[in-house]
Amino acid sequence: MKLLVVGSGGREHALVWKLAQSPRVTKVYCAPGNPGIAKLAECVSIGVNDFAALAELVQREGIDLTVIGPEDPLLQGIVDDFEERGLAVFGPRKAAAIIEGSKTFAKDLMEKYGIPTGAYRSFTDYEQALDYVRQQGAPIVIKADGLAAGKGVTVAFSLEEAEDALKSMMLEGVFGEAGARVVVEEYLEGEEMTILSFVDGETVVPMVPSQDHKPVFDGDKGPNTGGMGTYSPVPHMDDALIQQAIETIIKPTARAMVKEGRPFRGILYTGLIITDKGPKVIEYNARFGDPETQVVLPRLESDLADIFQAVLEGRLADCAVEWKKEAAVCVIMASQGYPGSYPKGKVIKGLPENTEELMVFHAGTAEKDGEIVTAGGRVLGVTSIGENLYEAQDKAYDAILTISFEGAHYRKDIGDKALRQAASRAKR
Ligand code: AMP
Ligand code: GLY
């Protein structure tokens, strides 16, 4: 079986890494890929939104299945396009991907079907948004309706911050069309957790939970990024809580999409906040998370190609999806200045060889004159597997000490929330 993975980040590196292990997979292609992926797959330099060129590649090489990594092509309708051409493709159609593409759609869906989330209002008029924000007071959350590369959310702890966010989204257009409509949302207090699920219509198979670290600095300080690191499992979130999230949020979401005539087939990402009233949704995505995938797939015992195939053939309900008990930690090494502007082309030194327990997933890298250089904000996802989170964390940070590039920045506390909870439990 030949596969094509579309995308070029750490998530796609993890997907290629896992798929290449399948005994059924004879060859993996990646478009456009990156130098890390090139060690496992044939990278073809086609952009993720060039559907015609991607389809031509699939037909020319006799590729059996295409897997879409990022949200952009999904929202542009790559799955509809491939299906019209009679090509097998894994991911939601455009009509279902809107669950990520419009926060207003997602909030309205949750309201209509009673799925727990924060109270909200959606606005296209700046003055009305401003009135509502002043009436509600801080803390309050302002979200651009459309895609904004993970940066369209401001958690405002003062009215001034909230007003600035409204102004830059609605009047100054910093996110373009994505910010023409905003969602103003109740601030929810609690720890975050991500659950990715394989979904085929009403059939939902949740993956193991993980926790992302969005803010750029230690202790969750500084602006939000696409994600600075992840770990899995999330041991302080017990099974009952995870089950509650599945029963009250994930399954009802899949059912709601079917009822709306937008059946979801692919990976549904639910970003949750665990409030004192239980789990509530802060966001949906229509794809694997980045960097959640980098810790979830190393824990997957089963063959990922088999699961994708089962979804496409409507057999997900009968498919055994097994997990390893080992823990995984992924620490992102980012360019200086990220999530603001950052330099590119810095030479990366000391990259270790990947082993079964240590994988350096490339996110924003390029090859120049025979050297690997930085080419993005998030550069590498240094990922380790261990018997438990302590061991996985140690191994990931030990590996980071060997890797260097000018201005490299990483958080030093990925996984600490879980370990702190474990320590305080032990003391009690
Ligand atoms: P999002 O892009 O929707 O995941 O939001 C980015 C980050 O903003 C989340 O990971 C949370 O840390 C935070 N956030 C989003 N919505 C809320 C909310 N209603 N209350 C508190 N924090 C939020
Ligand atoms: N890590 C957050 C995301 O993939 O959207």
pLDDT at 428: 59
Q: Is residue 221 part of a domain?
A: yes
Asked if 406 and 271 sit in the same domain, the reply is: yes
Q: Is residue 115 part of a domain?
A: no
Asked if 83 and 16 sit in the same domain, the reply is: yes
Q: How many domains does the chain have?
A: 3
Q: Which residues contact 80 (CB under 8 A, 6 or more apart)?
A: 93, 94
What's the Cα-to-Cα distance from 49 to each of 107, 363, 428, rounded to whole Å? 27, 18, 54
- Of 72, 91, 110, the residue that ends a domain is 91
CATH number of residue 409's parent domain: 3.30.470.20
pLDDT band at 426 (very low <50, low <70, confident <90, very high): low
Q: Is residue 186 part of a domain?
A: no
Asked if 176 and 198 sit in the same domain, the reply is: no
pLDDT band at 425 (very low <50, low <70, confident <90, very high): low
Asked if 419 and 276 sit in the same domain, the reply is: yes
Among 225, 240, 351, which Cα is nearest to 291's? 225
Residue 412's domain comprises: 191-427
Q: Is residue 313 part of a domain?
A: yes
CATH number of residue 73's parent domain: 3.40.50.20
Residue-wise pLDDT for 270-328, tens only, equals 999 999 999 999 999 999 999 999 999 999 999 999 999 999 999 999 999 999 999 99
Asked if 150 and 257 sit in the same domain, the reply is: no
Asked if 143 and 70 sit in the same domain, the reply is: no
- Of 39, 68, 91, the residue that ends a domain is 91
Q: Is residue 104 part of a domain?
A: no
pLDDT over 70, % of the chain: 98
Residue-wise pLDDT for 70-118, tens only, equals 999 999 999 999 999 999 999 999 999 999 999 999 999 999 999 999 9
**Is residue 423 over pLDDT 80?**
no
* Closest listed ligand to the CA of 190: 1
pLDDT at 171: 87
Asked if 343 and 286 sit in the same domain, the reply is: yes
Q: Is residue 106 part of a domain?
A: no
Asked if 157 and 212 sit in the same domain, the reply is: no
| CA 144/CA 123 separation, integer angstroms | 10
Q: Which residues contact 260 (CB under 8 A, 6 or more apart)?
A: 109
List residues near ligand 2 (CB under 6 A): 150, 212, 226-227, 285, 289-290, 292
Q: Is residue 118 part of a domain?
A: no
Asked if 233 and 137 sit in the same domain, the reply is: no
H/E segment holding residue 212: strand 211-212
Q: Is residue 113 part of a domain?
A: no
**Is residue 419 over pLDDT 90?**
no
The atom of ligand 2 lying closest to the CA of 289 is: 4
| Mean pLDDT score, 108-132 | 94
CATH number of residue 146's parent domain: 3.30.1490.20
For a ligand 2 pocket test, name from 269, 295, 297 the mutation site with the most ligand atoms within 8 angstroms of its C-beta: 269
Asked if 58 and 167 sit in the same domain, the reply is: no
Asked if 213 and 251 sit in the same domain, the reply is: yes
- Of 38, 70, 91, the residue that ends a domain is 91
Per-residue burial over 119-154, b if 16 or more Cβ lie within 10 Å, else e, is: ebbbbeeeeebbeebeebebbbbbbbbbbbebbbbb
Residue-wise pLDDT for 236-268, tens only, equals 899 999 999 999 999 999 999 999 999 999 999
Asked if 279 and 361 sit in the same domain, the reply is: yes
Å from CA of 427 to ligand 2 middle: 34
